[in-house]
């Protein structure tokens, strides 16, 4: 392919991440919008555009934005007037004003009115991006302070979720802000990260908190009954429809519906869901009329919907409709600083549930928790602690109270004896090696004063390997 031919196809822009700055460009010059839009997208920003202030306010009424970049002089409402309106709607939003006719007086007026920056055309895109990064970081710090103030300076429990890690505190802050908007929400993350808890938090923090919250597990819907379950049906509309049935969307009318595992919906059901999101109406199976619904949709998935849409397994238009208010939950192995807090949170709950003393964790158990990869994430941690609480009878939880997959080590296979050799409990060589290893571990523990972490360092072993060997040899 020639160089000229390659230039006709610009390189694909990267997918914005969940932490990407959300930028709204307000400008009636399409060429300017195109240049700045592409520059910011190449640097990972999630960009929205509007050709006038009125259109910008429509965008802001439906989705939170971190930074607004607006021309000063536009048809209708000016950039300064837009700034005043934005301040009333979202005091946290930052606004950068851009002008082709700059003056010191105008710049001073803009800053006094609350503008975060004031740039001249032709715009320096690198400086603009730097300003956006600084503003977003400042905003995140403010959000973190607010969330920390809800539950103490070092950690917080937010709508049933415990955290002190920066990533989770930012998630809490975004939930708090996103809940005030009617936009559709997409919660992503591995299985067990707490997606339903996030959906419930969005609902409880929203103006719809006193209205219905309906849960639908899309992967559990029978393929031939998906439409009926979601949208309802009339009596006689199909074999077995012996009465009118109200679907989940009608049941959630006025409130929130949580569509878990939305990536499992077949394509025809995805098309019907898209119509609900766009037209705010549903039609029961067998009914000639549509029924309006006022509903908020929170969807969740552990799959990559962007990749699915590129492969044709998920509708592009539905993906883009969902991919506005995105909340991505980190895996537990990526928020290890939350392990101790989460464990304490769960153990308090189990003490109340089982009416027993509050269990505690032995030091080696906590060390093991911090090293374990937790493929089942927070749900797995909760299940492990529930079992351990019962086994420890409300006392200190030791390694032996944990499932073997966390710390167990399979026994080595018995050595093959020569044909005709006498069978005994253990060969002399194997016995000698095992005894020597046990004695060496015991000596290391004695030298370390019984401290297992220090003993592991003396032996050149990881903490987890040492704990396995201690259990293997029955050393306490």
pLDDT in tens, 379-430: 999 999 999 998 888 789 999 899 888 876 544 444 444 444 443 444 444 4
Name the CA dihedral angle for 337, 341, 346, 351, rounded to a multiple of 10 degrees: 150
Q: What digits encode the pLDDT tens for the residues 387-398?
A: 999 888 878 999
Mean pLDDT of the chain: 82
- What is the model's pTM? 0.68
The tokens for 85 are 């309106």
Is there a single domain that holds both residue 326 and residue 338? no
Q: What is the CATH number of the domain that holds 25?
A: 3.40.50.2300
Total of domains in the chain: 4
Question: What number is the average pLDDT over the span 117-129?
Answer: 87
Are 348 and 317 in a shared domain?
Answer: no
Q: Which long-range contacts (CB under 8 A, 24 or more apart) does 396-405 make?
A: 396/359, 396/360, 396/361, 396/362, 397/359, 397/360, 397/361, 397/362, 397/365, 398/362, 398/364, 398/365, 399/362, 399/364, 399/365, 399/368, 399/467, 399/470, 399/471, 400/471, 402/365, 402/368
Q: What is the pLDDT of residues 87-109, one digit of tens each?
A: 777 777 788 988 877 666 666 77
Q: Domain of 374: which CATH number?
A: 1.10.8.60
454 and 399, same domain (yes or no): no
Strongest mean pLDDT among 3-17, 193-207, 406-420: 193-207
- Is residue 350 situated within a structural domain? yes
User: Does residue 254 have a pLDDT over 50?
Assistant: yes
Tell me the residue range of the domain where 357 lies. Answer: 333-407
pLDDT at 250 over 80: yes
Residues making up the chain, counted from first to last = 476
- The segment with the largest mean pLDDT, out of 49-53, 110-114, 171-175, 445-449, is 49-53
The percent of residues in the chain predicted with pLDDT above 70, rounded, is 84
106 domain-assigned = yes
Predicted confidence (pLDDT) per residue in 456-472, tens digit: 777 767 676 777 778 77
**Residue 226 covered by a domain:** yes
Same structural domain for residues 64 and 24?
A: yes
- Say if 141 falls within a structural domain: yes
Residue 324 and residue 343 in one domain: no
Q: Do 403 and 449 share a domain, yes or no?
A: no
Q: Is the pLDDT of residue 277 over 70?
A: yes
Q: Would you say residue 418 lies in a domain?
A: no
Q: Do 31 and 138 lie in a common domain? A: yes
Q: Do 127 and 79 belong together in one domain?
A: yes
Q: For the residues 427-436, what does the mean pLDDT come to?
A: 52
Record the tokens describing residue 168, joined without a space: 């989770």
CA-wise closest residue to 77 among 50, 107, 102, 44: 50
* Beta carbons of 230 and 252 less than 8 angstroms apart: no
Is residue 301 domain-resident?
Answer: yes
């Amino acid at each position: 392919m020639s160089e000229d031919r390659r230039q006709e196809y610009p390189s694909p822009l990267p997918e914005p991440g969940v932490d990407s700055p959300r930028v709204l460009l307000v400008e009636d010059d399409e060429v300017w919008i195109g240049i700045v839009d592409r520059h910011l997208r190449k640097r990972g920003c999630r960009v929205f555009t509007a050709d006038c202030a009125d259109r910008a306010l429509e965008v802001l009424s439906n989705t939170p934005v971190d930074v607004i970049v607006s021309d000063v002089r536009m048809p209708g409402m000016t950039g300064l007037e837009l700034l005043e309106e934005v301040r009333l709607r979202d005091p946290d939003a930052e606004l950068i004003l851009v002008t082709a006719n700059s003056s010191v007086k105008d710049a001073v007026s803009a800053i006094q009115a609350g503008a975060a920056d004031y740039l001249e055309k032709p715009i320096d895109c690198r400086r603009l991006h730097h300003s956006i990064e600084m503003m977003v970081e400042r905003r995140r710090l403010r959000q973190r302070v607010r969330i920390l103030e809800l539950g103490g300076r070092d950690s917080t429990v937010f709508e049933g979720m415990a955290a002190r890690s920066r990533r989770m505190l930012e998630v809490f802050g975004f939930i708090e802000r996103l809940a005030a908007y009617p936009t559709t929400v997409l919660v992503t993350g591995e299985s067990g990260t707490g997606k339903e808890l996030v959906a419930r938090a969005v609902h409880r923090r929203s103006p719809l908190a006193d209205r219905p919250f309906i849960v639908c597990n899309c992967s559990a819907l029978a393929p031939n009954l998906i439409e009926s379950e979601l949208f309802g049906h009339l009596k006689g509309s199909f074999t077995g429809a012996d009465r009118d049935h109200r679907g989940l969307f009608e049941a959630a009318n006025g409130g929130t519906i949580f569509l878990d595992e939305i990536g499992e919906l077949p394509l025809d059901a995805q098309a019907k869901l898209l119509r609900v999101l766009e037209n705010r109406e549903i039609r029961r199976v067998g009914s000639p009329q549509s029924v309006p619904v006022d509903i908020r949709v929170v969807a969740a998935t552990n799959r990559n919907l962007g990749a699915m849409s590129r492969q044709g397994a998920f509708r592009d238009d539905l993906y883009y409709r969902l991919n506005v208010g995105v909340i991505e939950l980190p895996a537990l192995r990526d928020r290890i600083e939350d392990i101790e807090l989460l464990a304490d949170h769960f153990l308090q709950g189990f003490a109340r549930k089982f009416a027993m003393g509050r269990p505690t964790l032995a030091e080696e158990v906590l060390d093991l928790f911090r090293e374990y990869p937790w493929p089942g994430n927070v749900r797995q941690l909760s299940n492990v602690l529930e079992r351990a609480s019962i086994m420890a009878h409300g006392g200190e939880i030791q390694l032996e109270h944990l499932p073997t997959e966390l710390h167990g080590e399979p026994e080595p296979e018995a050595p093959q004896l020569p044909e005709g050799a006498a069978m005994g409990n253990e060969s002399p060589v194997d016995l000698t090696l095992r005894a020597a290893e046990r004695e060496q571990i015991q000596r290391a523990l004695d030298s370390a004063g019984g401290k297992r972490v220090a003993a592991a360092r003396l032996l050149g072993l990881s903490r987890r390997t040492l704990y396995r060997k201690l259990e293997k040899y029955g050393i306490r």
